[in-house]
Structure 1
Amino acid sequence: MTSEKQDELKALALRVREHIVRLSTDGGCFTGASLSCADLLVYLYADFLNISPATVDAPDRDFLFLSKGHDVPALYGTFAELGFMPKERLANHLKANDSIYWHPNRAVPGVEFHSGSLGHLPSVGLGVALDNRMRGLKNHTIVITGDGELNEGSVWETVLVAAAHKLSNFTLVVDRNHFQANVATEDLIPLEPLGPKFEAFGWAVQRIDGHDFAQLEAAFGALPFAADRPSVIICDTVRGRGLPSIEARADRWFCNFSADEVVELLKELHSQESTTLTSETLTVR
């Protein structure tokens, strides 16, 4: 990946993080978890997936399912920046006149399936991947899960079935930010060694830095990792990435900041990137 391309993606990810911060008021949202997967969603929609605002219903599109639906601010921020939805629509967050709320809704173009109850979308993605293969399509089906979500038994049922069917067109992505709600995953139900667990279930595995665009490009560009096995990409990430004041904090899963706090957080966000602030940037809504 060229340095110019990385700079473009970093700038896009910064704008998405601005949206996440602005959505963290007037009722709030799942800020920390959304910030951890912002780079992942930016890379996928801006550089990898075969999907655009004009092809959200095309049968040969790539499918992405956000199983950790509470990260929807990162998804909607990405959609707003890439033209899937008007940026102004984000101002309707938690309002009765729209479907922009704490979890994905198919009333928003580009959302493939409702999510929120964890552990459900891996099986949905499995069915879509199997259907696409039966139709002779060569597209990707990608499901993004949280690491705490892996405690759901339905996830491992999907892992077993996908391996049994040798679904090489099916990819699971784990946002490994090491937190489950308000507790560290390893303090509740330890997940490690995570990669070897997937390998034991018959999957091909890569583990990368989920904030490094070059590593994201290398991993997704290598799909499928094996011709007869599904793939899993474990993305090590940081909860609250971009805001040191809330990074890796168990109590910053869900946030509802005041308007003044949002302004200060936007300043903090830009100070980490050494970018110039404008009055428009500091607008809360």
Structure 2
Amino acid sequence: MEEITFLKRKAVEIRMDLLTMIYNARTGHTGGSLSNTDILTVLYYKIMNIDPSNPNWDERDRYVQSKGHSVESLWAILADKGFFPKEELKTFSQFGSRLIGHPNNKVPGIEMNTGALGHGLPISVGMALAAKMDGKSYKVYTLMGDGEQAEGSVWEGAMAAAQYKLDNLIAIIDRNKLQITGSTEDVMALEPLPDKWRSFGWEVIEVDGHDVEQLVEVISHTPKVEGKPTMVIANTVKGKGISFAENVGAWHHHVPTKEEYDLAMDELSKQLEVLV
């Protein structure tokens, strides 16, 4: 339980950091970064085999954030893990900064520039296939948005992963059910999403994307089936952690006002207080 409490506290701290980054920069993708924070916290602080002092280590696990626009949580985590100085977070989205609004592989810990949706899974397929061909044991993790599932390249990557039996590939969908123009089911209906992925030859598990204990249990035990890539559909809440932002589509890229920022930080501080 001590480890789970640590992960829960860390997720709240990361939410505070990313909100501060967005507030100070006056730009960012707030809702999606808040919804993916628990997923990334579990990956970086529990699951993945990485070394911040040696970010190009051959045996490292790879992470590709296909949902590149929700990068703020990732920047906050990489800084906290020591891939670059935490002070650099203050430069987010400023002129000349490495910490731009999408993953940038000039920053240690970033494998690929991403942001054009639909690219992350095909890239991850290539990485996982390379590991198989080279006899390497590392795993490849990729995070996609649910609105991103409308991209055709996602499904090309899905077919290739099954064809090559890439059981070292674990894809995660941040299923918060909202995209920039509205509900995913109104814009481009996805359901039955689990059945679609199963029909493409993937092993599919659905989880509560904010239940840290469940995320650890599921992702720690992948692959579920030898010879099959794993899809984790993480049901999440856009804007998670800030009561007045949760499930509000406008918070996709809303920058908080001073009053909203203060209220949000107060809520998050109170969440930390109970996690002892």
The alignment's TM-score, normalised by the length of structure 1, stands at: 0.93
Q: In the alignment, is the contact (CA less than 8 A) between 1:55 and 1:61 conserved in 2?
A: no
Q: In the alignment, is the contact (CA less than 8 A) between 2:145 and 2:173 conserved in 1?
A: yes
Percent identity for Structure 1 against Structure 2: 35
State the alpha-carbon separation in 2 of the partners of residues 88 and 7 from structure 1. Answer: 26
Task: Tell me the equivalent position of 2:8.
Answer: 10
State the alpha-carbon separation in 2 of the partners of residues 258 and 245 from structure 1. Answer: 13
Shift of 1:272: 4.1
Q: In the alignment, is the contact (CA less than 8 A) between 1:66 and 1:145 conserved in 2?
A: yes
Task: Tell me the equivalent position of 2:115.
Answer: 116
State the alpha-carbon separation in 1 of the partners of residues 272 and 46 from structure 2. Answer: 21
Q: In the alignment, is the contact (CA less than 8 A) between 1:40 and 1:216 conserved in 2?
A: yes
Q: In the alignment, is the contact (CA less than 8 A) between 1:33 and 1:240 conserved in 2?
A: yes
Task: Tell me the equivalent position of 2:218.
Answer: 219
Give the secondary-structure state (helix, strand or coil) at the position aligned to 1:24: helix
State the alpha-carbon separation in 2 of the partners of residues 167 and 196 from structure 1. Answer: 19
State the alpha-carbon separation in 2 of the partners of residues 210 and 174 from structure 1. Answer: 9
Q: Which runs of 5+ in 1 are unaligned?
A: 277-285
State the alpha-carbon separation in 1 of the partners of residues 189 and 254 from structure 2. Answer: 25
Shift of 1:257: 2.4
State the alpha-carbon separation in 2 of the partners of residues 116 and 66 from structure 1. Answer: 8
State the alpha-carbon separation in 2 of the partners of residues 24 and 76 from structure 1. Answer: 11
Task: Tell me the equivalent position of 1:167.
Answer: 166
Residue deviations 1:155-177 (CA, integer Å, cap 9, x gap): 00000111111111111110101
State the alpha-carbon separation in 2 of the partners of residues 108 and 5 from structure 1. Answer: 28
Q: For 1:212, give the aligned amino acid.
A: D
Residue deviations 1:241-282 (CA, integer Å, cap 9, x gap): 000101001111002223443222211222344459xxxxxx
Q: For 1:107, give the aligned amino acid.
A: K
Matched, 1:89 2:88: yes
Q: For 2:256, give the aligned amino acid.
A: F
Count of residues in correspondence between the two structures: 274
- Greater share of helix: 2
Q: In the alignment, is the contact (CA less than 8 A) between 2:9 and 2:272 conserved in 1?
A: no
Shift of 1:87: 1.3
Give the secondary-structure state (helix, strand or coil) at the position aligned to 1:94: coil
Task: Tell me the equivalent position of 1:127.
Answer: 126
Q: For 1:164, give the aligned amino acid.
A: Q
CA RMSD of aligned residues (A): 1.4
State the alpha-carbon separation in 2 of the partners of residues 42 and 208 from structure 1. Answer: 15
Q: For 1:139, give the aligned amino acid.
A: Y
Q: For 1:159, give the aligned amino acid.
A: A
Q: For 1:83, give the aligned amino acid.
A: G
Shift of 1:188: 1.4
Task: Tell me the equivalent position of 1:237.
Answer: 236
Give the secondary-structure state (helix, strand or coil) at the position aligned to 1:23: helix
State the alpha-carbon separation in 2 of the partners of residues 51 and 274 from structure 1. Answer: 30
State the alpha-carbon separation in 2 of the partners of residues 94 and 129 from structure 1. Answer: 31
Q: For 2:9, give the aligned amino acid.
A: A
Task: Tell me the equivalent position of 2:200.
Answer: 201
Task: Tell me the equivalent position of 2:176.
Answer: 177
Q: For 1:179, give the aligned amino acid.
A: L
Q: Which runs of 5+ in 2 are unaligned?
A: none
Task: Tell me the equivalent position of 1:247.
Answer: 246
Alignment of 1:15-30 (within 5 A): 15-25=13-23, 26-30=25-29
